[in-house]
Amino acid sequence: MIKKFHIISYGCQMNVYDNEIITSILIRCNLLYVINILDADLIIINTCSIREKAETTVYNKLLYLNSLKKKKKIYIGVVGCMVRRLKFINNLKKNIIDFVLGPDQYRELPYIIKSIENNRYFSNVLLSNEETYSNIFPSKIYNINKVTTYVTITRGCDNMCTFCVVPFTRGRERSKSPKNILNECNKLYEMGYKEVTLLGQNVDSYLWTKETHIKKNIKKEFKQINFSMLLELIATKLPNIRIRFCTSNPHDMSLSVIKIIKKYNNICKYIHLPVQSGSNKILKLMKRKYTRLNYIKLIENIRNIIPECAISYDIITGFCNETEKDHIDTLNLMKYIKYDFGYMFIYSHRKGTYAYNKYKDNVSFDIKKRRLYDIIKLQRKHSKLNLKKYLNTIQHVLIESDSKKNSNYWSGRNSQNLIIIFKKNGEKLGEFVNVKILSYTSATLIGEKIKYY
Q: Whole-number minimum distance, CB 11 to ligand SF4, in Å?
A: 12
Q: Whole-number minimum distance, CB 151 to ligand 5AD, in Å?
A: 19
The enclosing H or E element of 11 equals none
Is 50 an interacting residue with respect to ligand 5AD (CB under 6 A)?
yes
Residue whose CB is less far from ligand SF4, 6 or 155: 155
Residues 16 and 150: beta-carbon distance below 8 Å: yes
Tell me, residue by residue from 295 to 324, as one string, x for binding to ligand 5AD by CB under 6 A and - for no binding. -------------------x-x--------
Residues 7 and 50: beta-carbon distance below 8 Å: no
- The Cα–Cα gap between 408 and 234 comes to 35
Binds ligand 5AD (CB under 6 A): choice among 88, 106, 347, 440: 347
Residues 166-205 that bind ligand SF4 (CB under 6 A): 166-167, 201-202
Residue whose CB is less far from ligand SF4, 105 or 202: 202
Residue whose CB is less far from ligand 5AD, 5 or 313: 313
Q: Whole-number minimum distance, CB 331 to ligand 5AD, in Å?
A: 16
Is 133 an interacting residue with respect to ligand 5AD (CB under 6 A)?
no
Residue whose CB is less far from ligand SF4, 353 or 415: 353
- The Cα–Cα gap between 225 and 233 comes to 10
Q: Rg of the Cα trace of the chain?
A: 23
- The Cα–Cα gap between 380 and 326 comes to 21
- The Cα–Cα gap between 364 and 347 comes to 10
Q: Whole-number minimum distance, CB 128 to ligand 5AD, in Å?
A: 22
Report the half-sphere exposure of 372 (CA within 13 A, side-chain side). 18
CA of 312: how far to CAs of 80, 212, 368, in Å? 27, 39, 21
Is 276 an interacting residue with respect to ligand 5AD (CB under 6 A)?
yes
Q: Whole-number minimum distance, CB 315 to ligand 5AD, in Å?
A: 7
Binding at 348: pick from ligand SF4, ligand 5AD, none (beta carbon under 5-8 Å per type): ligand 5AD
Is 163 an interacting residue with respect to ligand 5AD (CB under 6 A)?
yes
Q: Which residues contact 56 (CB under 8 A, 6 or more apart)?
A: none
Residue whose CB is less far from ligand SF4, 113 or 166: 166
Q: Which residues contact 24 (CB under 8 A, 6 or more apart)?
A: 136, 137, 138, 139
Binding at 347: pick from ligand SF4, ligand 5AD, none (beta carbon under 5-8 Å per type): ligand 5AD
Residues 142-161 that bind ligand 5AD (CB under 6 A): none
Binding at 350: pick from ligand 5AD, ligand SF4, none (beta carbon under 5-8 Å per type): ligand 5AD
Q: Please, what is the Cα angle at 442 between 440 and 447, to 5 degrees?
A: 20
Candidates 130-138, 148-156, 321-329, 340-348: pick the segment binding ligand 5AD (CB under 6 A). Answer: 340-348
Tell me which DSSP letter residue 419 carries: E
Tell me, residue by residue from 200 to 239, as one string, x for binding to ligand SF4 by CB under 6 A and - for no binding. -xx-------------------------------------
Is 101 an interacting residue with respect to ligand 5AD (CB under 6 A)?
no
CA of 45: how far to CAs of 7, 64, 116, 183, in Å? 6, 12, 16, 29
Tell me which DSSP letter residue 363 carries: S
CA of 275: how far to CAs of 137, 289, 373, 423, 437, in Å? 33, 11, 17, 37, 30
Residue whose CB is less far from ligand 5AD, 42 or 50: 50
* Main-chain dihedrals φ then ψ at residue 342, nearest 5 degrees: -165, 170
Residues forming the site for ligand 5AD (CB under 6 A): 50-51, 163-164, 274, 276, 314, 316, 345, 347-348, 350
Residues forming the site for ligand SF4 (CB under 6 A): 157, 159-161, 164, 166-167, 201-202, 249
